[in-house]
């Protein structure tokens, strides 16, 4: 097919040539006689390590980069990942020299940076209705872990840590994993035929061992957990807490505050709702917000705003302790604050409004050609199944690649057969979405006429379907210099 002539870049090790130099730096002006380490501890050579000129490095990484689909190159409706546009001014701001300081600088010399952290905390407090925030967690899962630790510390302070955390069957895998690392056993709780949790069901699962319920809201079906206030009341009566996973906060930011509808702890993903780029998998940032009763248990460091400026509590015996070095992923925090300041208070709810409008438009346009497993109202994303199709969700996803569109999230949540989870976000135009709808219809048409052809897709990508079984069965996790082998 068309990619026969498509030549992939070699690995950086394969273009290395002995003696090439890619950097410039002053020569060493101190005698080797001063070396204060035993010779036996010194390294002789880094075998096979790359040696390249600067232009070699630039061409290599430029050509490698071109093999990626990205938000800046096209539509990326990956459900639950909120692949919104990443504003360019935020990158410029994050690179400002004035912000680039050492984390152990005396606090009077980094007042600007501490103000940035405190400012973002204020924005998040106002948006979510939580009492206090920490911006330390490095990612969503790290926030979940910190949040569950806070819950545990709080319950311990009451003399009863409890054993069990309830998690709905539609939850992300990080929820049970994070609760487990906070020392809890997991009990899965089913959602009802409308795709949400029933207060009645929750009640059945409650007992004196239940520490908390982790609820993603809107859940991974894109449906708002409309019984949240009733469920929160039940939990609180039982002495349990409500953890709200805010991965999908883009759906109702500015519409309703989690703190007003019963959440005790929430985490947010700055790399989703607050526009910071995903960078091919990270760095993210997963701040957690908590109620007044829980603030004292937050991880260190804590930034304190006083009359004479900002200071830092680097130790706090009451809390869960330290969970990460320094202040968190600071530059991600900078970008998120820049995003919110650019939005301003008047545009916060507009994010959710347009995101939900776009998702419902896709739902409306595709509901006659794809199976909609849950008929409930959906917010920022819509989930279809591959029921009654002549091909699978995977085939459709792979065919989308040929049309230059990144597929939606596939086969998640697990409770939907062949799930296609589509999240367009508010930063996509109607033109882009219309084009996507057309392509989807075209593919479904192709599927009817020639399902075998779709099973071979993609055809126009740098590589075609990859053998994942081979990768796992005979793991090759680094380049091996074949010249050294044999």
Partner 1 sequence: MQYFPLTDKQREEIKKEIGIKDIKELFSDIPQEKAWYSLDNLPNALPENELLKRFEDLGDKNTYSDYLSFLGGGAYNHFIPEVVNYLSNRSEFLTPYTPYQPEVSQGSLQAMFEYQTMMAMLTGMDFSNASLYDGGTAAIEGALLALRKSKKNKILVAENLHPEYMEIIYSYVQNLGIEVEQVRYNRETGKVELDELKDKLNSEIGGFVFQSPNYFGVIEESKEISDIVHSEKKAYSVQVVAEALSLPFLTPAGDNGVDIIVGEAQSFGLSLSFGGPYLGFIAAKKEFLRQMPGRLVGQTKDVDGKRGFVLTLSTREQHIKRENATSNICSNQAWCALRAGIHLSTLGKSGLSKISKLNHLNTAYFVKEIEKFDFVNVKYKKDFFNEVVLELKNDNGIEFLEKLKNRKIFAGIPLKWFYKDADNQVLINFTEMHNKADIDLLVKEIGDLK
User: How many residues contact partner 1, by CB under 8 A?
Assistant: 206
Are the C-beta atoms of residues 145 and 182 closer than 8 Å to each other? yes
CB of 137 to partner 1, least distance (A): 9
Q: Which of 308, 368, 452, 476 binds partner 1 (CB under 8 A)?
A: 476
Interaction mask 103-142, partner 1, x per CB under 8 A:
xxxx-xxxxxx-xx-----xx--xx-x--------xxxxx
Number of C-beta neighbours around residue 447 at 10 A:
20
Q: For tokens 């908590």, what's the residue? A: 290
Q: What is the rounded CA–CA span in Å between residue 180 and residue 168? A: 15
* Residue spans of alpha helices (H) in 129-219: 140-157, 174-181, 199-205
Among residues 338, 383, 419, 421, the one that binds partner 1 under rule CB under 8 A: 338
**Choice between 45 and 388, CB closer to partner 1:** 45
**Binding to partner 1, residues 236-295 (CB under 8 A):** 252, 254-257, 260-261, 271, 275, 277-284, 286
Min dist CB 2 to partner 1, Å, is: 11
Closest to partner 1 by CB, 71 vs 420, is 71
Q: List binders of partner 1 among 41-100 (CB under 8 A).
A: 41-43, 45-52, 54, 57-58, 60-62, 64-73, 76, 78, 81, 83, 85-87, 89, 91-93, 95-100
Note whether 310 and 304 are within 8 A (CB): yes
Q: Which of 2, 5, 32, 482 is close enough to bind partner 1 by CB under 8 A? A: 32
Q: Which of 120, 130, 134, 145 binds partner 1 (CB under 8 A)?
A: 145
CB of 112 to partner 1, least distance (A): 3
Instruction: Estimate the crossing angle of helix 330-343 against helix 111-128, to 10 degrees.
Output: 60
The whole-angstrom separation of Cα 40 and Cα 38 is 5
Positions 383 through 422 that interact with partner 1 (CB under 8 A): 397-398, 401, 406-407, 409, 412
Q: What is the bridge-based pairing of β-strands 265-268 and 241-246?
A: parallel
108 vs 448 by CB, closer to partner 1: 108
Candidates 102-110, 199-207, 288-296, 415-423 — which segment interacts with partner 1 by CB under 8 A?
102-110
Report whether 263 contacts 231 (CB < 8 A).
no
Q: How far is the CB of 204 from partner 1 (least distance, A)?
A: 21
Query: Do the beta carbons of residue 67 and residue 8 sit within 8 Å?
Result: yes
C-alpha 213/C-alpha 198 separation (Å) is 13
The enclosing H or E element of 77 equals: none
For partner 1, the closer of residues 201 and 376 by Cβ is: 376
How many Cα neighbours within 13 Å face the side chain of 68?
11
- Token pair 């990158």 is found at 91
Closer residue to partner 1 in complex, CB, 69/203: 69
Binding residues for partner 1 restricted to 189-208, rule: CB under 8 A: none
Minimum distance between the CB of residue 239 and partner 1, rounded to whole angstroms? 18
Which listed residue (77, 120, 121, 152) binds partner 1 by CB under 8 A? 152
Strand-pair partners of 371:
385
The stretch among 233-241, 289-297, 445-453, 465-473 that binds partner 1 (CB under 8 A) is: 465-473
Stretch that binds partner 1, among 200-208, 288-296, 349-357, 445-453 (CB under 8 A): 349-357
* Contact yes or no for 260/418 (Cβ under 8 A): no
Residue 271's CB is within 10 A of a number of other CB atoms, namely 26
Token reading at 357: 């409008």
Q: Which is nearer to partner 1, 184 or 384 (CB)?
A: 184
Pick from 157, 201, 349, 385 the residue near partner 1 by CB under 8 A. Answer: 349
- Of 189, 212, 294, 356, the residue at the interface with partner 1 (CB under 8 A) is 356
- Beta carbons within 10 angstroms of residue 339's beta carbon: 23
Q: For partner 1, which stretch binds (CB under 8 A), given 143-151, 198-206, 384-392, 415-423? A: 143-151
Task: Looking at residues 289 to 328 of the shown chain, list those that interact with partner 1 (rule: CB under 8 A).
Answer: 299, 314, 320-328
* Cβ-based nearer residue to partner 1, 88 or 388: 88
Alpha-carbon distances of 171 from 64, 213, 221, 396, rounded to whole Å: 35, 11, 10, 24
Residues 385 and 371: beta-carbon distance below 8 Å = yes
In 291-332, beta strands by DSSP E? 302-306, 309-313
Which residue is listed with tokens 């990443």?
86
Minimum CB distance to partner 1, residue 228 (Å): 8
319 with 74: CB under 8 angstroms? no
């Amino acid at each position: 097919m068309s990619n026969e002539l498509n030549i992939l870049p070699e690995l950086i090790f394969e273009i290395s040539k002995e003696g090439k130099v890619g950097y410039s730096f002053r020569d060493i002006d101190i005698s080797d006689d001063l070396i204060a380490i035993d010779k036996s501890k010194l390294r002789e050579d880094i075998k096979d390590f790359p040696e390249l000129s600067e232009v070699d490095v630039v061409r290599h990484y430029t050509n490698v980069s071109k093999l990626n689909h990205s938000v800046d190159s096209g539509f990326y409706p990956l459900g639950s990942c909120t692949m919104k546009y990443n504003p360019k001014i935020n990158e410029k701001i994050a690179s400002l020299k004035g912000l680039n300081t050492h984390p152990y600088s005396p606090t009077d010399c980094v007042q600007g940076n501490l103000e940035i952290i405190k400012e973002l905390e204020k924005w998040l407090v106002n948006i979510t209705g939580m009492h206090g925030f920490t911006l330390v967690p490095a990612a969503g899962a790290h926030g979940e872990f910190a949040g569950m630790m806070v819950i545990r510390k709080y319950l311990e302070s009451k003399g009863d840590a409890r054993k069990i955390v309830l998690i709905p069957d539609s939850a992300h895998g990080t929820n049970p994993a994070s609760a487990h690392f906070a020392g809890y056993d997991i009990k899965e709780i089913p959602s009802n035929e409308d795709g949400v949790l029933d207060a009645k069901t929750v009640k059945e699962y409650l007992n004196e061992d239940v520490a908390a319920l982790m609820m993603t809201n809107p859940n991974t079906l894109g449906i708002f957990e409309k019984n949240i206030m009733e469920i929160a009341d039940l939990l609180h009566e039982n002495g349990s807490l409500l953890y709200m996973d805010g991965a999908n906060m883009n759906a109702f930011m500015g519409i309703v505050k989690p703190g007003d509808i019963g959440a005790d702890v929430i985490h947010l993903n700055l790399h989703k709702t607050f526009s910071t780029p995903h960078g091919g998998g990270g760095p993210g940032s997963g701040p957690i917000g908590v109620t007044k009763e829980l603030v004292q248990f937050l991880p260190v460091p804590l930034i304190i705003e006083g009359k004479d400026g900002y200071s830092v509590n680097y130790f706090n015996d009451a809390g869960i302790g330290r969970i990460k070095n320094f202040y968190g992923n600071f530059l991600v925090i900078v970008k998120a604050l820049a995003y919110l300041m650019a939005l301003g208070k008047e545009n916060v709810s507009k994010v959710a409004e347009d995101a939900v409008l776009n998702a419902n438009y896709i739902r409306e346009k595709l509901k006659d050609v794809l199976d909609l497993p849950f008929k409930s109202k959906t917010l920022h994303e819509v989930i279809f199944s591959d029921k009654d199709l002549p091909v699978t969700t995977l085939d459709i996803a792979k065919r989308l690649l040929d049309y230059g569109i990144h597929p939606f999230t596939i086969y998640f949540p697990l409770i939907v057969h062949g799930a296609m989870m589509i999240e367009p976000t508010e930063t996509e135009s109607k033109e882009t979405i219309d084009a996507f709808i057309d392509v989807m219809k075209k593919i479904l048409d192709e599927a009817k006429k020639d399902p075998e052809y779709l099973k071979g897709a993609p055809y126009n990508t740098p590589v075609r379907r990859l053998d994942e079984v081979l990768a796992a069965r005979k793991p090759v996790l680094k380049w091996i210099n074949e010249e050294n082998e044999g």
